[in-house]
Amino acid sequence: MRKPIIAGNWKMNMTPSECAKLIGELRPLVGHAACDVVVCPPFTGLAAAKAALAGSTIRLGAQNVHWAEKGAYTGEVSAAMLKELGVEFAIVGHSERRQYFGETDEGVNKRARAALAADITPIVCVGESLDQREAGETEARVGAQAKAAFKDMSAQEAVRVVVAYEPVWAIGTGRTATSEQAEETIAFIRAIVRELYGEAVAQAIRIQYGGSMNPKNAAELMAMPDIDGGLIGGASLKAADFLQVVHYSAEGTK
């Protein structure tokens, strides 16, 4: 049985004081959520967020993690650094990281494995561009990304990963994949996991939808059998909107 997971990716928004304020607004209304709830502030807000989350059921995530334990990697942050701040999740391979900062499938795999080694759950993002979808290349692109992300991972490691399917064409554009489109691709990702690790891992791994899930479409998307949550961007920056997504229904595990 898979417990849904809703994670807010705050991207390059929120100063430390703003992080604490938003968490203060979320805390009283999240305690009875039927899903795991994660917030992912920018690196500068992690310490303030951790303090604001004390005693809360909301869990702390980071927006990236480097694969090396330490070294000459200016501007990067290691898994050990995140772990000491109380981070439990780390987004890896977000489309914006791939698009703007040149992150590769190989690097995504290395970052994910570094997170796992530090007992941090990686939220591994995969997805296709509009051109790739219109050319009928969705499965080829998403399948290649997924297989690369799981390279050299054992089944015991793979089952701890959260996958986020984020169609690049539906991020920040106001466009959203239909629930059927999202379900179809996420079911395909689950089939890839089944091919790599077998039925038990495929049924246990959680796969989110990360393409503009919001209060209006969350319930419909979450009703799909293979969609286990959402990686939420813009709607996670306003407490009222994020809470509507978190409380998409009264359902528990799938």
pLDDT in tens, 61-117: 999 999 999 999 999 999 999 999 999 999 999 999 999 999 999 999 999 999 999
Distance CA 8, CA 99 (A): 20
Q: Amino acid identity, residue 158?
A: A
Residue 32 is among the residues annotated as catalytic for this protein: no
Average pLDDT across the chain, whole number = 94
Q: Amino acid identity, residue 52?
A: A
pLDDT value of position 26: 96
The lowest-confidence range among 40-44, 183-187, 247-251 is 247-251
Distance CA 198, CA 176 (A): 31
pLDDT at residue 251 tops 70: no
pLDDT value of position 131: 87
Looking up tokens 């100063």, which residue turns up? 15
What is the rounded average pLDDT of the residues 212-236?
A: 93
Cβ-based neighbours of 95, under 8 Å, separated by 6 or more = 125, 127, 166, 168, 171
Considering 94, 96, 128, 183, which one is annotated as catalytic? 94
pLDDT value of position 42: 98
Residue 166 is among the residues annotated as catalytic for this protein: yes
Considering 96, 103, 128, 166, which one is annotated as catalytic? 166
Distance CA 135, CA 13 (A): 34
Distance CA 31, CA 26 (A): 9
Q: Which CATH class is domain 5-246?
A: alpha beta
How does pLDDT run across 136-182, given as a tens digit for each residue?
999 999 999 999 999 999 999 999 999 999 998 877 666 768 999 99
Distance CA 165, CA 183 (A): 10
CA distances from 13 to 19, 95, 99 (A): 9, 17, 19
How does pLDDT run across 208-222, given as a tens digit for each residue?
999 888 999 999 999
pLDDT value of position 252: 47
CA distances from 69 to 45, 73, 76, 79, 120 (A): 21, 10, 11, 7, 14
pLDDT at residue 31 tops 90: no
